[in-house]
Amino acid sequence: MSELNLKYLTLGEEGFDQNLADMLSWESVSDGDMQKLVADIIHRVRKEGDAALMDYSAKFDHFEVESMDALVLGAAEIEAAFHRLPEDQQQALQTAAQRVESYHSKQLSKSWQYTDEQGVVLGQKVTAMDKVGIYVPGGVAPLASSVIMNAMPAKVAGVSSIVMTTPAPKGEVSDFVLAAAYVSGVTECFLLGGAQAIAALAYGTETVPSVDKIVGPGNAFVATAKAQVFGKVGIDMIAGPSEILVVCDGKTNPDWVAMDLFSQAEHSHDAQAILISQDGEFLKQVEESVKKLMPTMERADTILESLNSRGVFIKVDTLEQAIELINTIAPEHLELSIDEPEQWLDRIRHAGAIFLGRYTSEALGDYCAGPNHVLPTSGTARFFSPLGVYDFQKRSSLIGASAEAANELGKVASVLARGELLSAHAQSAEYRIND
């Protein structure tokens, strides 16, 4: 194993801002060649439908099928996967699903309306989307939690059809993933991966239905495909690598902090783990914990590569400075491993999810606390929010004018329309003016 080579920065030192910006910088690997390849895949799926999907299944997943029936799992098959699991996994999935459902039920928006002083009925009609697509990666980790986090908000929103796609390399698919689909309300499952799955969900084929929105993580091909079909369908976000920022006052067990950093670093070599403390000696203690614990990790090589390429330990003088750095970084996951973390919440403006106190590991949020683990990355917490029920609901404006209101408001609309030189707009309002 290579040697650990963590980066250290000190707030206030010469070049700090640029060095931090360099560490935070991440650009998508979706270059021109990938853009063209994905565009070709999407075009072929649109043109050839199921035939293209079966061909790509053989080419990319080494899963040759004679008909689409082999790529479709029905409700009975999804349920059977749940019952094949050990009882502890069944219970864990059900507990996580119940907690996520309970939390997201608080996010439900409801329709509303009122009548203003002019007698105009105004309001908003909230409606769930009809059909949503959930993409679940099929790599080395069976991401059952991703199924729950993406499907459950849609279920709570009232989406009637939740379609899942997940690749099946050599025809194999994880029972753990399928069981998560069962407890989350997934209604259909297709064994498809990559850009071809996104294309099928966006445009539909003879077998795969087109959906209104596509959510879920994926590799660069999937992210590129989601970007290319956006507009035909909605998407959640274009996510970058996983991130964690831990702010610690030096009073937490350094082994805990090291393992929390590992929890994101193990995702990929591009993942980012950042530790900020006003205690320089504590930073060194955590580094020693990292060195001690690293050899015990199953994904040690990935963790080491992540920490060496994008990990950074930052020394500040005060917690106030740490809080300002949080707002600059806008992290996906933020752990406040400090005394009385609630007192700092009003000053934190940008973070995807905030974990309060020394006992709240980021892993609780990933799996079973309740809030969604689909979070904005790469600084986009400045303008994006966690995935939620609101992402699967649409809002329609309501306007209802009486004859009297049309008479009074029509005069205002007429003046504004003629000011914009739009005479048809003006006359549309003026026809209803009766004095």
Which residues participate in catalysis according to the annotation? 332-333
For 105, the token pair is 């039920």
Burial label for 40, CB within 10 Å (0-12, 13-18, 19+), is exposed
Is 333 annotated to bind a ligand? Reply is: yes
Asked if residue 304 lies in contact with residue 1, where contact means CB atoms within 8 angstroms, the answer is: yes
DSSP string for 138-179: -SSS--HHHHHHHHHHHHHHT-SEEEEE---GGG---HHHHH
Is 196 annotated to bind a ligand? Reply is: yes
Phi and psi angles of residue 355, each rounded to the nearest 5 degrees, phi first: -105, 120
Is 40 annotated to bind a ligand? Reply is: no
Is 350 annotated to bind a ligand? Reply is: no
- For 80, residues 6+ apart whose C-beta sits below 8 A from its C-beta are none
Is 242 annotated to bind a ligand? Reply is: yes
The DSSP call for residue 250 is S
Specify the residue for token string 């303008």: 383
Is 61 annotated to bind a ligand? Reply is: no
Is 105 annotated to bind a ligand? Reply is: no
Listed residue (179, 148, 160) closest to 371, CA to CA: 148
For 87, the token pair is 């009882």
Beta bridge partners of 215: 134
Is 324 annotated to bind a ligand? Reply is: no
Is 135 annotated to bind a ligand? Reply is: yes
Is 3 annotated to bind a ligand? Reply is: no
Listed residue (43, 32, 411) closest to 229, CA to CA: 43
Instruction: Please state the residue numbers annotated as binding site for NAD(+).
Output: 135, 196, 219
Instruction: Please state the residue numbers annotated as binding site for Zn(2+).
Output: 264, 267, 366, 425
Instruction: Please state the residue numbers annotated as binding site for substrate.
Output: 242, 264, 267, 333, 366, 420, 425
Instruction: Please state the residue numbers annotated as binding site.
Output: 135, 196, 219, 242, 264, 267, 333, 366, 420, 425
